[in-house]
Chain A
Amino acid sequence: MGKKALVVDDNANNLLLGKDLLEVAGFTVFEAENAADGIAIARREKPDIILMDVRLPDMRGTKAARILRQDKETRDIPIVFVTSSVMTEGLEEIKDITNAGFLGKPINTRTFVKEISQFIK
């Protein structure tokens, strides 16, 4: 049985790229273009991993992550921030979020799935 992944990204192209790479690797992929949708899908589907952009239209990805951490249903889902904010400030922001990882954009398509799989228990 394939694992479930949720990709949250407001850029349709990047959302598609992530989805393609994960599907090729056998994931069932759910997509969201904003944080609110992402949180709703996460609660409903309880994916094995969440790929989260940081700059989202309705709130920052880090805030969405904190909301998910407060809900015991979604508290333990690993979150990998896939972000263009690769400068120090971006890293500071995710430091205190548990069970979380970081991947800078642009992603390396050849290693992407392998890298995020490390975060799945």
Chain B
Amino acid sequence: MVWKKTKKNLEYAESIIDTVREPLIALDQNLRVVSVSRSFYDVFKVMPEETLGQLIYDLGNKQWNIPKLRELLETILPQKTTFDDYEVEHDFATIGRRIMLLNTRQIQRVLGKERIILLAIEDITARREIENGLEKARKELAAIKISEDEAREYSESVINTIREPLIVLDQDLRVVSVSRSFYEVFKVNPEETVGQLIYDLGNKQWNIPKLRELLETILPKRTTFEDYEVEHDFAAIGRRIMLLNARQIKRVWGKDRIILLAIEDITERRETENGLEKAHEELTALAAELKRVARVKSEFLANMSHELRTPLNSIIGFSEVLYDETFGVLNEKQKKYVNNVLTSGKHLLLLINQILDMAKVESGKMNLVLSSFSIKGLLNDISMLVADIVGKKKLEMILEIAEDLPHIVADELKVKEIIYNLLSNAVKFTPEGGKIGMRASTRKADSKIEIKVWDTGVGLAPENMGKIFEGFFRVDTPYSRVTEGTGLGLPLSKKLVELHGGNLSVESEGLNKGTTVLFTLPIVSGKGVRDGKESVGCR
């Protein structure tokens, strides 16, 4: 508008051009420089003489040959008369990289028909740098903020994730933050917790003398404290034993200190420990009691043995004297009856002896008296001993005793007892006309003597198989009289075999199908004998 008026106005305009801080350049239709503001020279370090009348592209040694400027002047401007904020970035040889905003106006010159182009150049390099710096700073700030938020979130999520209740206090012992588990464990609400004095929490339930001691006396002196044990009876959750772990830390963003207090509820652990300890004590007491019981049992058996033998001495002694007619002749019936007394007395004595032997074996007090002897000779001797009753019962006895049986080291009396028990059982439980037998051989594989005592007698029902070693189990048969066995012979034999380091087992195919007792004896007993040295005494 201004340009249209007068010459005066033109001069005025030119002075404006010179005054404005912004470089301004006026071009004619052919893009040659008509006029230039002083600031243009200042900014772009060019001289008036090498500027006026020049093609703009040739300015400053062709520094202005800028593709984007050409685009603006040759392509855009012919179509539009004004163009604002056309951004051009260019690296000038003299002044370095510049970012410019070009504002152009195409105006009709008042004096003629020519058009002139006004080109205002705003150097925004510094502004852009500041903007970029600001942007960068903003981004960094944002990043810092994010990381701070993240850190806070992270620590809060740590606090909330851990199972252990955690409480954060400020210097004045007021609650800053609390883990979720704290609320769950101690049954308190967030609204009545945060900002409160710790002692006031949960209706002053936390006013615990030992906690006060920790927070007020101990922590000021030490920055950390671990496993400070506190026992307290909470109204809401009852008596609890807790381990407190405290850390006093300086807050990063200030001079305040905060106190982290982790609370480990060890009530149950302690209960378990106490339970264990109690169980251990009980076990110790039980062991002592068992020992005492074993001693009492052993004393009881010794007393029982003594007390039973005293009257038995009279029963057996006098009936023997009577039976032997030492003091006069008895009639047949008297003799038969006194023999019944004698037999019963001896049976009772056998029972007592076997009970004592069982007790001795079980308490580990049975000692083996080891010697070397011929097992072949022993087997033959015992078979002769039962030959009498075998004959009376019209049984057939089949002996298969290997010729090459070695001498063995064992307790001879006990081996005799075992063989006698088994053979007399075979006789006892086999009806007249049946067969009994004994087979003995050496088992080379493990240096053991294998002895089998068998019969064709009453056998064992499968359901009774397990009972025969329990003691006092008796097979009721028409062939065995009640007085004939004690029910302890087989269990005792098994124990004596095992004491030697052998095994004893019983087989039967069922009732009336006969019985086979198989047992082994080491050629040399004493090694690997049950109960070790204590139960094996050598003569």
Contacts and interface: CB of A to CB of B under 8 A. Distances in A.
Interface of A: 11, 13-14, 17, 20-21, 24, 55, 84-89, 104-110
Nearest to A82: B313
Contacts of B316: 106, 109
B209 interface: no
A14 B365 CA distance: 30
Nearest to A53: B310
A14 B310 contact: yes
B314 interface: yes
Nearest to B307: A84
A109 B321 contact: yes
Given A24-B326, A105-B312, A106-B349, A84 B306 contact: yes
Interface of B: 301-302, 305-318, 320-321, 324, 326-327, 345, 349, 356, 365
B310 A105 contact: yes
Contacts of A109: 316-317, 320-321, 324
Nearest to A89: B302
Nearest to B367: A88
Contact of A86 (B309, B315, B326): B309
B321 A84 contact: no
Given A84-B305, A85-B302, A86-B309, A14 B314 contact: yes
Contacts of A89: 302
A108 to B, nearest CB: 8
A87 B314 contact: no
A24 B391 CA distance: 37
Contacts of B324: 109-110
Contacts of B311: 13
**3 interchain residue pairs of minimum CB distance:** A84-B309, A13-B314, A106-B313
Contact of B313 (A84, A85, A87, A110): A84
Given A14-B310, A87-B356, A106 B317 contact: yes
A80 to B, nearest CB: 14
B309 A105 contact: yes
B252 to A, nearest CB: 82
Nearest to A84: B309
Nearest to B309: A84
Contacts of A108: 320
A109 B327 CA distance: 13
Contact of A107 (B317, B345, B365): B317
A40 B313 CA distance: 26
Contact of A17 (B301, B302, B318, B365): B318
Contacts of B313: 11, 13-14, 17, 84, 105-107
